[in-house]
Amino acid sequence: MTLIPIRRVRTPASRAPLSPLPSLTSHRAASLFADESGAATAEYAIATMAAVAFAGLLVVIMRSDEVRGILEDLVRRALTVE
């Protein structure tokens, strides 16, 4: 696989010097840590990853011959009329 380099397009605005980062004061740090924007999205992402991992574990368990035999036996007994 060949990667194609991405060329940056220079616009007059991109030639302007970058503004320096603001200094990190205790007040600014407190306001940054108090900001919870994006927290819900991160929680949904973590919950989705956990669900995918659990589903993968179930697939591995369900593919085993022993579990397959138990389920087939259960279905046979449920469908058998005595």
Enumerate the domain spans of the chain. 40-82
pLDDT at 20: 79
Instruction: For the chain, 82 residues long, give each residue's pLDDT as a single digit of tens.
Output: 566 666 655 565 556 666 777 788 888 888 878 877 777 888 899 999 999 999 999 999 888 899 889 989 999 999 987 7
- For 47-81, letters b (16+ CB in 10 Å) and e give eeeeeeeeeeeeeeeeeeeeeeeeeeeeeeeeeee
